[in-house]
Amino acid sequence: MNPKVIYEDLGLIDFKEAWDYQTQLFDATIAIKMDNRRDENNKIITSNYLLFCEHPHVFTLGKSGKETHLLLNENSLKARGATYYKINRGGDITYHGPGQLVAYPIFDLDHFFTDIHKYLRFLEEAVIRTLAEYDIIAERVEGLTGVWVDGTKPTARKICAMGVKCSRWVTMHGIALNVKSDLSYFKNIVPCGINDKAVTSIQNELGKEIDMNDVKQKLKINLSKVFNYENV
């Protein structure tokens, strides 16, 4: 049987509130796995979750990031109506805000495959397939995580950032796809620590209004196809 994934659309939600909810699901899944190790005769099957949401303006810094990549001080953050968090995912600094589709898979990779690099490539593939449905040709850039337009050209533009945490093969955090983001906020950081490439969005590439719900549905389906699971 294919794995099952519980899907939730959290809508526009404060970053810390969503982070706390992710952590709750993440910790509960790990606790079940630890209990299963202690009592192999009464194993409980862990659940998998996929959370979609948008956040109010926020900058987040991953464990390997540099604080100097945030180009705003505390007063400037307030003036921009933004918040800032140091968080427990991999990667450097990124921006989340309205018009950006954030996807948080809390997957027990024991249901899929235990390979974090393959996991990241599968997330990228789902985004690439979704963008193809809008006639946007997107790709990977060797040595960099995420999804790019014109990735191998001087005009390379990042359209989707990624950063994950994984413990005991349970994942959290995930992907941030720019659908109709206010791209000016990326000027306040060195996005993902990369200062020689631009940032873009679906709406910016196509020059027309994009329906967020349509993107959500496409990405939801493509994730399920790539990972071969059933949405419940």
User: How many angstroms separate the CA atoms of 8 and 13, rounded?
Assistant: 12
User: How many angstroms separate the CA atoms of 10 and 56, rounded?
Assistant: 13
Residues 6+ apart with CB under 8 A from 208: none
Domain ranges of the chain: 4-55+95-231
How confident is the model at residue 64, as a pLDDT? 83
The pTM of this model reads: 0.95
**227, 142 in Cβ contact below 8 A?**
no
pLDDT in single tens digits along all 232 residues of the chain: 689 999 999 999 999 999 999 999 999 999 999 999 888 888 899 999 999 999 999 999 999 889 999 999 999 999 999 999 999 998 889 999 999 999 999 999 999 999 999 999 999 999 999 999 999 999 999 988 899 999 989 999 999 999 999 999 999 999 999 999 999 999 999 876 777 779 999 999 999 999 999 999 999 999 999 999 999 9
User: How many angstroms separate the CA atoms of 162 and 222, rounded?
Assistant: 16
User: How many angstroms separate the CA atoms of 160 and 145, rounded?
Assistant: 9
How confident is the model at residue 39, as a pLDDT? 85
The residue ranges of DSSP E strands in the chain, in sequence order, are 4-12, 48-54, 58-61, 83-86, 93-96, 100-106, 138-141, 144-149, 157-167, 170-178, 198-199, 230-231
Active site (catalytic) residues: 192
User: How many angstroms separate the CA atoms of 55 and 57, rounded?
Assistant: 6
Kind plus residue range of the DSSP H or E element containing 16: helix 15-38
CATH superfamily of the domain spanning 4-55+95-231: Bira Bifunctional Protein; Domain 2 (3.30.930.10)
Residue 139 dihedral angles phi and psi, to the nearest 5°: -155, 170
